[in-house]
């Protein structure tokens, strides 16, 4: 239970930072800002920011060094959820038990709020942490985040996921999709933390492998939970993937084999934590959390 | 006519750079990359990149110093057009005489291609021009572009423009909308050029005023041309704004007063060119071009 207390404490710090990054909903852009805030403050776990913080600390950095960029990861995650929920994409009415952004504010508002959140994320990563001596890390952080979030990362994975719905489930490039759609941003999270802690190139590469494996384990567990949990625990309608014939690990390999694969990935994530990390306990607990959580 | 030759030469350099920045359409993300390329290579004038190049040269910089970030401005402009054309926004079927991205590839593809272009733009601005000594300029360039393109810039202007359609035309905050929707990215263009040429803070502020005035003149002229040009010259259906009751300068003040206001703005753009610029001819010609062009 120590991890839950850690997660909760970090989540609060991240929420405070998000509050300070998102402008109040006033002026001619009020409706846009309101849509952005609605989507960001909807009770998420802040897993990506927490991973960035944990990674920064594991490499000897302080929380302040990466808190703002960590919060920016949540802005990117939120933008991807808003766009993913749109009628032209997954067409979801509910997210975390509340109407999705386009249901609550309208489709144009949702599209533009997503655009604005992604843009704000890059502004934050380019300007924080402050200090002339850190400019090169900030520029590298922007490049790293953009590569992980772009056409060869998250956005590429999202389109491949949608395209997969139009092919026989057995032919969908499942692992590629998960590694990009979910894994890329989780990898970016631990990379950003390590980068701002001043980790070496080798350590950055290792921790990226940790993030990629954890991301895939996380996605497989999500799909397992979608089949086995109640709506109350899940915060959304369970069994939706099954009904829509979506290609998932449980659909293709069954629940047991999927759970085993998730366990194997957790082991490989643990294995990827570099030796230079003196306190691997939190990173290890977060990797276990990817498969052990109830929702 | 010297300006047209200048524009044409610069346009070619920008197109070559765009070609090198956009990956070939292959692999699992092929359809996404194809949609991105389709939208980018549709015969645009590349006004924003050309403004960045002209500004960099005016402040004594070389074209190579800003060619990649200049091309990134076109990626941002293209993403904004793709999202603007979507059914939930302006719902346009044609753009530059061809089917819009969502008509040619589908709505999900268009949304994600826009997202990927914006993300790629930030990757380019964060990594180019190369060189350790330029990292702080690159980080500043990302921040500047993000502020101009985000909720208090272009995206804020786009939502205000859509919201204005639901209010009496006389009450729409016309100037605010144009300054943000169109002006912000044009201002960012000349700012990026000046930044990479090593211009002073004061000069950056002056050239931003040039860009803002030029942007507003450009938008007013666009709306005038929408009422007075043929479909062939325009590359899209003329008179559309008038039919949709869109709030524009010509609709509110008439054609003559709108033309006079555009002229006044060109004069104020010329006035904002800082004294430190030794060869203001191209910037001056570009400001005149904003109102003198036929489409």
Q: Which residues of B touch A147 (CB under 8 A)?
A: 123
- Calculate the alpha carbon distances from A31 to A34, A110, B159, B164, B247 in Å: 5, 10, 8, 12, 19
pLDDT in tens, chain B (295 residues): 588 899 999 999 999 999 999 999 998 899 999 999 999 999 888 999 999 999 999 999 999 999 999 999 999 999 999 999 999 999 999 998 899 999 999 999 999 999 999 999 999 999 999 999 999 999 999 999 999 999 999 999 999 998 888 888 778 889 999 999 999 999 999 999 999 999 999 999 999 999 999 999 999 999 999 888 866 666 666 667 666 767 789 989 999 999 999 999 999 999 999 999 988 999 999 999 999 987 6
**CA atoms within 13 Å, Cβ hemisphere of A130:** 0
Low-confidence ranges of chain A (pLDDT < 50): none
Question: What number of C-beta contacts closer than 8 Å exist between A and B?
Answer: 160
Among A142, A144, A149, the strongest candidate for a mutation testing the B interface, having the largest count of B CBs within 10 A, is: A142
Chain B nearest-CA distance from A282, in A, is: 31
ipTM of the complex: 0.96
CB A90 within 8 A of CB A236: no
Distance, CA of B53 to chain centre: 13
Nearest-Cα residue of chain B relative to residue A79: B115
Radius of gyration of chain A, Cα coordinates, nearest whole angstrom: 18
* Residue B75: per-residue pLDDT: 98
Chain B nearest-CA distance from A139, in A, is: 5
Q: Give the number of domains in chain A.
A: 1
Q: Which residue range forms the structural domain that includes residue A21?
A: 2-292
β-partners of residue A94 are A99
CA-based nearest residue to A16, from A47, A41, A53, A39 = A41
CA-based nearest residue to B293, from B227, B209, B228, B225 = B225
Instruction: Count other Cβ atoms within 10 Å, centred on residue A26.
Output: 9
pTM (2 d.p.): 0.96
- Calculate the alpha carbon distances from B12 to A281, B50, B51, B113 in Å: 55, 10, 14, 23
From the list A112, A158, A180, the residue facing B155 with the nearest CB is: A112
**CA atoms within 13 Å, Cβ hemisphere of B8:** 5
Question: With an 8 Å Cβ cutoff, are B159 and A120 in contact?
Answer: no
* Residue A188: per-residue pLDDT: 98
* Residue A231: per-residue pLDDT: 61
* Residue B295: per-residue pLDDT: 67
Q: Measured between alpha carbons, how far is B169 from B247 in angstroms, rounded to an integer?
A: 5
Question: With an 8 Å Cβ cutoff, are A89 and B83 in contact?
Answer: no
Question: With an 8 Å Cβ cutoff, are A151 and B119 in contact?
Answer: yes
Q: Encode pLDDT of A142-174 as tens digits.
A: 999 999 999 999 999 999 998 888 888 778 889
Among B68, B76, B112, the strongest candidate for a mutation testing the A interface, having the largest count of A CBs within 10 A, is: B112
Question: With an 8 Å Cβ cutoff, are B120 and A89 in contact?
Answer: no
CATH code of A206's domain:
1.10.600.10
* Residue A243: per-residue pLDDT: 66
């Amino acid at each position: 239970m120590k991890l839950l207390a850690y997660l909760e404490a970090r989540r609060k710090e991240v929420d405070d930072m998000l509050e300070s990054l998102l402008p109040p909903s006033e002026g001619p852009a009020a409706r846009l800002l309101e849509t952005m805030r609605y989507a960001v403050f909807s009770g998420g776990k802040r897993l990506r920011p927490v991973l960035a913080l944990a990674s920064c600390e594991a490499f000897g950095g302080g929380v302040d060094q990466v808190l703002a960029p960590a919060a920016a990861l949540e802005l990117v995650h939120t933008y991807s959820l808003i766009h993913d929920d749109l009628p032209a994409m997954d067409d979801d009415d509910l997210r975390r038990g509340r109407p999705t952004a386009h249901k609550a504010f309208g489709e144009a508002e949702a599209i533009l709020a997503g655009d604005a959140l992604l843009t704000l994320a890059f502004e934050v990563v380019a300007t924080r942490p402050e200090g002339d001596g850190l400019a090169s890390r900030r520029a590298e952080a922007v490049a790293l985040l953009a590569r992980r979030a772009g056409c060869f990362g998250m956005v590429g994975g999202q389109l491949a996921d949608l395209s997969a719905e139009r092919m026989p489930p057995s032919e969908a490039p499942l692992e590629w999709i998960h590694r990009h759609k979910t894994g890329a941003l989780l990898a970016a999270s631990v990379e950003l933390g390590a980068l701002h802690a001043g980790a070496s190139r080798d350590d950055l590469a290792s921790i990226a492998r940790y993030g990629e494996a954890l991301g895939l384990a996380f996605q497989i567990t999500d799909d397992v939970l979608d089949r086995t949990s109640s709506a109350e625990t899940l915060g959304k309608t369970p069994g939706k993937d099954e009904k829509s014939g979506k290609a998932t690990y449980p659909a293709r390999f069954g629940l047991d084999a999927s759970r085993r694969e998730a366990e194997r990935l957790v082991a490989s994530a643990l294995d990827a934590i570099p030796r230079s990390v003196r306190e691997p306990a939190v990173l290890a607990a977060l990797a276990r959390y990817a498969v052990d959580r109830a929702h």
